[in-house]
């Protein structure tokens, strides 16, 4: 037994001497910096509907697909469903702000809101894009959101028409 301990300590000493004297810990890869505590557990539920992260993703995908299929039709009834998903995403964001799903869910949520053509949906789309850009500025989703903010969503809002111009119309 003593021979095994001596042999193991000799091998361990040899391995330690082969390592550099001081490792650079400041350049750790991003994946290594993300600990498990920053990620939401798969069995955790958020918002009023108690949705899982995958449930949120699927709900956004389904609502978005329905809005695409009903192009031109009134899809304002989807707004309530999407606001409940928004509640779950914001609850996830509040509890696990560094979860890697949050920026993508935010971007997808904003895109789904933009497909519902009513005033409140456009406001919610812009608000969601704002927090994706401000809270996750280095993410790919923030870069995409900046492009959408200036291109697509700007056209979804109604132009401001003075009331006087409406009153003078015959």
CATH code of the domain containing 111: 1.25.40
Structure tokens at 63: 């609502």
What stretches in the chain show pLDDT beneath 70?
1-37, 150-170
**pLDDT tens digit string along 19-51?**
444 544 454 444 444 555 688 888 899 999 999
Q: What is the DSSP string of 92-128?
A: HHHH-TT-THHHHHHHHHHHHHHTS-SHHHHHHHHHH
- Residue 11: inside a domain: no
Domain of 46, in residue numbers: 41-157
How many separate domains does the chain show? 1
Q: Is 147 a member of any domain?
A: yes
**What is the Cα–Cα distance from 149 to 129, expressed in whole angstroms?**
7
Instruction: For residue 24, tell me if it sits in a domain.
Output: no
Q: Is residue 59 part of a domain?
A: yes
Name the DSSP letter for residue 27.
Answer: T
pLDDT of the residue at 110: 95
The model scores a pTM over 0.85: no
């Amino acid at each position: 037994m003593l021979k095994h301990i001596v042999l193991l300590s000799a091998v361990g000493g040899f391995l330690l001497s082969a390592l550099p004297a001081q490792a650079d810990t400041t350049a750790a890869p991003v994946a290594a910096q993300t600990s498990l505590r920053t990620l939401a557990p798969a069995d955790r539920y958020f918002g009023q509907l108690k949705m899982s992260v995958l449930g949120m993703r699927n709900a956004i995908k389904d609502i978005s697909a329905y809005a695409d299929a009903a192009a031109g039709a009134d899809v304002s009834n989807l707004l309530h469903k999407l606001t409940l998903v928004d509640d779950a995403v914001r609850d996830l964001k509040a509890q696990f702000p560094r979860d890697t799903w949050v920026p993508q869910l935010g971007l997808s949520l904003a895109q789904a809101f933009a497909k519902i053509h009513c005033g409140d949906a456009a406001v919610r789309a812009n608000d969601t894009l704002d927090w994706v850009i401000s809270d996750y500025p280095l993410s790919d989703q923030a870069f995409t959101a900046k492009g959408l903010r200036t291109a697509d969503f700007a056209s979804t809002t109604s132009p401001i028409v003075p009331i006087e111009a409406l009153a003078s119309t015959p």
